[in-house]
Structure 1
Amino acid sequence: MRGDRLIKILLMLQSQGQLTANELAERLEVSERTIYRDMDALSGAGIPVVAERGKNGGWSLLEGYQTNLTGLKEAEIHALLVSPSIQLLDDLGLTGTSEDARIKLIAALPDKYREHAKEVWNRIYIDTSSWRNEKEKLKSFETLKQSIWQNHKLNMIYQRADGQTIERIVQPLGLVAKGNRWYFIAAKENGEIRNYRASRIQHAAPINETFERPKSFDIAQYWKSSTEAFVKELPTYEVRVRVTLDIVGRLSYSSHFVRVIEMSEDDKEGWVLVRLSFDTQEEAIRYILGFSNQMFVIEPTYLRNKICELAESVVVHYNFNQNE
């Protein structure tokens, strides 16, 4: 176990350059004290690991050092050969390149692994598209990709969620795919890093100015922290309802963002007590009305009264139009 971890540390330092003890500890899921012991072990084995102190310090390998470790375990081969999302590769223009790379990788494997590795393609397939295949329009996606690799600042026009449009000069740092949606990660001129939904970028044009990419920026770690903070700040609106057994299996299969928090066993009359969570009261109302007489609101009582008023207004509306 420790030997595997030491090899991982060596390969991580070789491929990514300088990493702090904290970064290594988080990725390997051990304590920083363990990382320091591992570094002593690597040094004792003749590996030239170098520690640099200070704010921008960390662990690295002596410049010019290169390990010749090439062995791959069977599980590692599987990880490399599992089919990626074709939809996302299409967006990036890498579909053909990805297939070529996998063919070359298989050709480079030892004979005893080659045939088995080919079977991985036929065992697991990843599809990130939605059932309705509603693909977002990405007007400036090519410009975003180029600016990320070239470290060119962008003049960007962005439509916020409230419909307002802003113009901003940003420093492109990366792209993140969440499901089948793309998010553009960029730093504002004051250094603040923000997430932008790529489909809301109305226009983006590079300006004749480059920037220095932050050496400490790790897009995977940033996205993890960013999404955790976003989820914590999401509004919640909880409702207790009784539902018929017929719709229990359908509670989470809707176009509304709903979470089933708690569910009791059905009573003798064929009803189940459920606690649901929504983002807003409006979302809860639309969801509950959609199930008609198969769902009954218990709490909050004012929501039950509001739904009754809305249902009555719908009846009045249809009766009025029917009489015209």
Structure 2
Amino acid sequence: MIFQAILQKKCLSFNYQKDGTKTERIVQPLSVVFHDHAFYVAAKLVNKNKQNPIYFRIDRITDLNVLKQSFPTNEKHEYFQAGAYKNLAFNMFTGDEIIVKIKTVKWLEEYVYRAFAHAKKVAENETSIIMEMKVFGTEGILFWILAQQERVEVLEPLFLREKIKEKIIKLAKLYEI
């Protein structure tokens, strides 16, 4: 049904279960992608100002229906570039496009490129490197940065640096530090 809707440019309606909450969604499906042992449908929400597609795990979708309502291709008749978009939507989290600049230990460079194929090295010294990458949203990269522990420091944007500080404070309270 999902592939049929994509090919015919038909909207989908479904219930989506996430974090114990069920929400009804009407979307314009663009593509199906596979990530980390699960299939996702990339779609734009109907009647929302949000322009970037978001991902829905297919195994969390119930009551799926193909609607009669169709949707147009964009004005330039360009196709959705699923692979390129997925590379920027780190760990399937999406949001507004941001540029993130990090400082990391030099030996972690290869892992940064694995996680962010489009990352650029902008400076280095004997022990560390500064890298810059474009991502959609903050949640995915936030998880990645925290998993790197003390080996990664966010330099920019400042609001992401502040979010990390807030998470660290919450962790310190949790562990009674």
Query: How does the TM-score come out when normalised to structure 2?
Result: 0.52
Higher relative contact order (CA 8 A, sep 6+): 2
1:1-324 → structure 2 map (5 Å cutoff):
157-159=13-15, 164-165=23-24, 178=33, 181=39, 199=58, 200=61, 202-204=63-65, 225-227=78-80, 235-254=96-115, 258=116, 260-264=118-122, 266-268=124-126, 270-319=127-176
**Which protein is richer in helix relative to its size?**
1
Quote the offset at 1:305 in angstroms.
3.8
Quote the offset at 1:182 in angstroms.
7.6
Q: Structure 1 residues 274, 159: closer, same or farther in 2, change over 3 A? A: same
Q: Is the 8 A contact 1:260 1:274 kept in 2?
A: no
Quote the offset at 1:304 in angstroms.
2.7
Q: Is the 8 A contact 1:184 1:198 kept in 2?
A: no
Percentage of pairs with the same residue: 11
Aligned to 1:308, the other structure's residue is in SS state helix
Q: Report the RMSD for the aligned CA atoms in angstroms.
A: 5.0
Q: Distance in 1 between matches of 2:111 and 2:163?
A: 24
**Which protein shows a greater Rg?**
1
Quote the offset at 1:249 in angstroms.
1.0
Q: Distance in 2 between matches of 1:252 and 1:226?
A: 26
**Which protein is richer in strand relative to its size?**
2
Q: Which runs of 5+ in 2 are unaligned?
A: 44-52, 86-94
Q: Structure 1 residues 271, 309: closer, same or farther in 2, change over 3 A? A: same
Q: Distance in 2 between matches of 1:161 and 1:202?
A: 11
Q: Distance in 2 between matches of 1:299 and 1:317?
A: 27
Aligned to 1:225, the other structure's residue is in SS state coil
Aligned to 1:248, the other structure's residue is in SS state helix
Query: How does the TM-score come out when normalised to structure 1?
Result: 0.32
Quote the offset at 1:238 in angstroms.
1.5
Q: Structure 1 residues 227, 290: closer, same or farther in 2, change over 3 A? A: same
Q: Structure 1 residues 293, 167: closer, same or farther in 2, change over 3 A? A: closer
Deviations 1:168-196 (A, max 9, x none): 9xxxxxx96545858699xxxxxxxxx99
Give the letter for the 2:23 counterpart. Q
Q: Distance in 2 between matches of 1:312 and 1:167?
A: 38
Q: Structure 1 residues 159, 253: closer, same or farther in 2, change over 3 A? A: farther
Give the letter for the 2:155 counterpart. I
Q: Distance in 1 between matches of 2:80 and 2:154?
A: 32
Aligned length: 143
Quote the offset at 1:298 in angstroms.
1.8
Give the letter for the 2:175 counterpart. Y
